[in-house]
Amino acid sequence: MEVLRLHGANDVRVHLEPEPVPAPGEELVRITAVGLCGSDLHWYEDGGIGNSRVLEPLVLGHEMGGVIVSGPRADERVVVEPADPCGHCAACRAGHANLCPNVRFCGHAPTDGGLRTLMSWPQRLLLAVPDSVPGDDVALLEPLGIALHGIDLGHVRRGMSAGVFGAGPIGLLLIRALRAAGLGRIVATDALPHRVEAALASGADEAYLTSVDGQPDGIEAWDPVDVAFEAAGEDAAIESALISVRLGGRVVVVGIPPTNRHSFTARRAREKGLTMAFSRRMKALHMLRAIELVDHGLVSLDGLVTGTYPLSQSAAAFDALVARSGLKIIVKPTV
């Protein structure tokens, strides 16, 4: 089978390798669509993310779906839940499996991800996909789950107002999910004009282009929002969130910074009495909710996929990811 491995920063290569043999409780999945995201970008550009580095060639990709190859579920379309927590640690027992320190996570060293023709993965983590989720959109269910987890951390209620700072795919899915949750005013920002337009198309009431220093013009005069979501992985986006949120409001940090550190104005956060929450992946229930929301037509995935590439052209796919020229980039290991 064909496998794409990251050997180091900016170095991806296609290999021919033996097909995996499923362990007990696992199924073999033919991967049809893999979304490239911000964490993949960090791995690709930096050869690692946070404290994790590429020590051996790694298969990236954790936003993915495909078709089960054999067994009683053969030919079933599925989305892959990329996290396999241990189920026994204190975090898992407390209901926070997304924080499991022993988790196997697809595309995060040392666990290979989905940029390959075939992969084996636990059957319980292969969720059936309804016909309402067409083709490549299956790869958008995982990032929608990430957005839903962030919304839960924001303690969102119908009628509230929200800011989304960063209108990449996660930010756009946040906007769509917030609209489905019945929020009132939603405001968004991004540094790229086409993403500002995409934010408006996704349901934001207002969307603004950020200026050179990272804040949109006039942000200090905005009507404050109840909750703010940082979805860019940039300090300027956190600062925008702190400026825009009301006294006593909440800020949810969803983005992953390139340097493993964040910096913001502590006095602003302290004087406003803000609560800050930091989002870590998602819980199992969020993927199920993502499927349900899309299946019932409450959240649309239309228009988010702006580029598709075969596995053989993965280097071009990563170039497009680095350029941020579109929205969601999809690699198709098989058709």
Q: In angstroms, rounded to a whole number, what is the distance separating the alpha carbons of residues 153 and 31?
A: 31
Q: Coil, strand or helix: which one is 102?
A: coil
In this prediction, residue 284 has a pLDDT band, given cuts at 50, 70 and 90, of: confident
Q: Between 125 and 50, whose confidence is greater?
A: 125
* Ranges in the chain annotated CATH 3.90.180.10: 2-133+301-332
For residue 244, is pLDDT > 70?
yes
pLDDT at residue 227 above 70? yes
Segment 1-11, tens digit of pLDDT: 999 999 998 89
Phi-psi domain of 303 (left: phi exceeds 0; alpha: psi -120 through 50; beta: other): left
- How far, in Å, CA of 122 to CA of 13, rounded? 27
Under the banding of pLDDT at 50, 70 and 90, the label for residue 144 is: very high
d(CA 43, CA 252): 23
Identify the pLDDT of residue 212. 61
CB 98, CB 280: distance < 8 Å: yes
User: What is the pLDDT confidence band of residue 48, given thresholds at 50, 70 and 90?
Assistant: confident
- Please compute the mean of the pLDDT values over residues 129-135 and round it to a whole number: 92
- DSSP, collapsed to helix, strand or coil, labels residue 86 as coil
φ/ψ of 42, rounded to 5, equals -60, -45
Of 27, 59, 37, the residue nearest 125 (C-alpha):
27
Q: Domain 2-133+301-332 falls in which CATH fold?
A: Quinone Oxidoreductase; Chain A, domain 1 (3.90.180)
- What's the pLDDT score for residue 213? 64
| 240 has pLDDT over 80 | yes
pLDDT digits over 192-219, tens only? 999 999 999 999 999 999 976 678 888 8
Kindly tell me if the per-residue pLDDT of 322 is higher than 70.
Answer: yes
Residues of the chain with CATH 3.40.50.720: 144-278
The pTM is what?
Answer: 0.94
Give the CATH superfamily of 144-278.
NAD(P)-binding Rossmann-like Domain (3.40.50.720)
Q: pLDDT over 70 for what percent of the chain? A: 99
Which pLDDT value is given to residue 275? 96
pLDDT higher than 80, residue 50: no
Lowest mean pLDDT among 184-198, 210-224, 262-276: 210-224
For residue range 89-131, list pLDDT tens digits in order: 999 999 999 999 999 999 998 999 999 999 999 999 999 999 9
For 211, residues 6+ apart whose C-beta sits below 8 A from its C-beta are 217
Which pLDDT does position 43 carry in this prediction?
85
pLDDT tens digit sequence for 53-65: 888 999 999 999 9
What are the pLDDT digits (tens) for 11-39? 999 999 999 999 999 999 999 999 999 88
Is pLDDT at 266 greater than 70 in this prediction? yes
pLDDT at 289: 96
Concatenate the DSSP letters of all residues of 145-182 into one string. HHHHHHHHHTT--TT--EEEE--SHHHHHHHHHHHHTT
Mean pLDDT of 267-284: 94
